[in-house]
Amino acid sequence: MFAPGINVARVNLKPLVRPYDLEQLNPERVIKRLRREVIKQLKAQIQQETFSPAAKRKLMECFEVKAGPRSITVIAKHPAFRALLEGQKSGQMAWLTKAKRPIPIITDDGELIFRSATPKSMADGKWVHPGREPTTVIEKTRKIARATLKKYIKKEIGMQLKAAVAS
């Protein structure tokens, strides 16, 4: 159903905390918390993008967040995810001449029309993709998740220190 996944981001635990803080934390709890936060923030960032509702729904279904022993890895399983992240250059869509059926197009008015890409229309310079800027969904998600996790780690260490002093 989906193409093999590509690793699109990784957040490592060690740079988030100082070495002496790690001794007091349960890394598994921190990683689980980070995984939940990454999923939440990635979905929120996708919702803010200017994609169609169907594209947003598909993008939210196509990624997987794996928790390793010391990191979180985001894996995208949809072939379009790479083009969305890296952007796309503008250029003529020559592959459309190989289409076996007419190409459905939705006009600005919302009307569905069908057109065929012919060698003549290609020679006339038609069927040019406008291009797409790269998205920063993953980078924004990574920054927000790291900041949230740092707050969580500080809070957790504070609670553990209070418990240690109280006992």
pLDDT in tens, 126-164: 999 888 888 777 777 778 877 877 887 777 777 766 766
Q: Identify residue 162 by its one-letter amino acid code.
A: K
Closest C-alpha to 27, from 112, 149, 163: 149
- How big is the chain, counted in residues? 167
Residue 41 CA to residue 60 CA, distance in Å, equals 11
Query: Looking at the domain assignment, is residue 37 inside a domain?
Result: yes
**Tokens for 58?**
């598909």
Do 65 and 105 lie in a common domain? no
Residue 134 CA to residue 72 CA, distance in Å, equals 23
Task: Give the residue carrying structure tokens 């890296």.
Answer: 86
Closest C-alpha to 2, from 58, 42, 57: 58
0.75 exceeded by pTM: no
Do 25 and 66 lie in a common domain? yes
- CA geometry: angle 34, 38, 40, nearest 5 deg: 115
Secondary structure (3-state) at 29: helix
- Higher pLDDT: 84 or 36? It is 36
Do 17 and 76 lie in a common domain? yes
Contact 64, 5 (CB under 8 A): yes
User: By residue range, what is the domain housing residue 118?
Assistant: 89-131
Query: Looking at the domain assignment, is residue 1 inside a domain?
Result: no
The answer to whether the Cα torsion of 8, 12, 15, 17 is positive or negative is positive
Structural domains of the chain, count: 2
Q: What is the pLDDT of residue 2?
A: 46
pLDDT tens string 67-105: 777 777 878 888 777 777 788 889 999 888 998 999 998
Residue 145 CA to residue 69 CA, distance in Å, equals 17
Contact 103, 121 (CB under 8 A): no
pLDDT tens string 3-21: 466 666 666 655 554 554 5
Residue 110 CA to residue 54 CA, distance in Å, equals 15
Do 17 and 82 lie in a common domain? yes
Closest C-alpha to 59, from 70, 73, 37, 44: 44
